[in-house]
Amino acid sequence: MATFLEVGLLQHFSVIFPVLLVFVTVFALLQQSKMFGENKGLHSLIAISIALLMLFSPGVVQVIGIMAPWFVLIFMFILMILLGFKFLGVSDKSITETMSSWGTVHWFLLVIGIIIFIGAISSVYGASLLPFSGAATTTIATAGGNMTTATGDFNANVGRTIFHPKVIGTVFILIVGSFTIKLLCGSSK
């Protein structure tokens, strides 16, 4: 029985959404950069060509399918933060000045975007690279017992590597060092 929330038909059209996303993104970049002049017809032809060429690589469609919900989530989070600032009385002018000047907010969003991109790439292509990683098994002695990082599951390998105490300790030391350098080299006001 068909229900109001039946979305099974949308599965057949799931390829259209990444194509539209690539088309709109490439067209907007070409319009903004004016790389090929101001000819909108040429820009749209290039954008539709790139979007349709993307269809020949199903991995790219999967990467976009994994990345898109995360970027929508970040966009909604930014909107909620901006609404919170407006609710607290921050003026439109100060929000515009903060968002238009390149600073910490932009670097943070860039790093989050890169992390999402790397995560999507590794989710799609990581398991296919596992046979090329070598057959040597690495066993690490931990407080809770031995832990191997050469399993047959790519996600388990990545999780065990990222959350290994040595990696977490190194990341913590790098963060403390970067804040120390920033505070020591910062100008006094």
Poorest-pLDDT segment among 12-16, 37-41, 52-56? 12-16
Share of the chain above pLDDT 90, in %: 37
For residue 80, report the phi and psi dihedrals to the nearest 5 degrees.
-65, -40
Look at residue 125 and tell me whether its pLDDT is greater than 70: yes
Q: What is the pLDDT of residues 148-172, one digit of tens each?
A: 666 667 777 777 778 788 888 999 9
Contacts of 15 (CB under 8 A, 6+ apart): 55, 61
Instruction: Reply yes or no on whether the pLDDT at 75 is more than 80.
Output: yes
| Alpha carbon distances (Å) from 62 to 65, 72, 86, 90, 159 | 5, 16, 37, 40, 21
- In this structure, the number of other CB atoms found within 10 A of the CB of residue 160 comes to 19
What backbone torsions phi and psi does residue 7 show, to the nearest 5 degrees?
Answer: -115, 15
140 sits in which H/E element: strand 139-142
Give the phi and the psi of residue 135 in degrees, each rounded to 5.
-100, 5
Position 88 confidence tier, pLDDT thresholds 50, 70, 90: very high
pTM here is 0.67
